[in-house]
Copies of this chain bind each other. A is one copy, B any other.
Amino acid sequence: MRHREGAWTIGRLAKTVGVTVETIRFYQRRGLVREPPRPPGGIRHYTPEDGARVRFIKSAQRLGFSLDEIRHLLRLDEGMQCDAAAKLAAQHLDGVRMRLQDLRRIETTLEILVEQCGQGKEKVACPLIMSLYGDKNYK
């Protein structure tokens, strides 16, 4: 290995952080990961900092942030703006809570319907299907 330590190819970077090369390139097109300068007639070299950045993206994704939100967070990081980052996270949290409410409503409804169906008085129209038709004289 002739290269200096801490200088990776894109393939090495991808493998190190556990994504594919194509994903790195995609993040670059999205402006989330820099494109290191390409030496004339050579290939680009990446550093562990690039790896940290990709890992940051992946962590934020596990918290449900979109790539657009993550780009925003990364810009804030560069400026060390904790308040703004917290505000963004709080907004995202609001969205999460709304999705939670939706899912809880759905969970409750489905629980009831599945249970009603399980009561197995066949011969009667399926409660689930009836409910989806709007219940009352549905056809």
Identify the A interface with B (CB < 8 A).
49, 52, 55-56, 59-60, 62-64, 73, 76-77, 80-83, 85-86, 89-90, 92-93, 96-97, 99-100, 103-104, 106-107, 109-111, 113-114, 117-118, 122, 125-129, 131-134, 138-139
Shortest Cβ gap from A84 to chain B (Å): 9
**B86 and A114: CB pair below 8 A?**
yes
**A110 and B63: CB pair below 8 A?**
yes
Shortest Cβ gap from A28 to chain B (Å): 19
Cα A77 to Cα B52 in complex, Å, equals 52
7 interchain pairs (CB within 8 A)? A55-B134, A63-B109, A63-B132, A82-B128, A86-B117, A100-B100, A100-B103
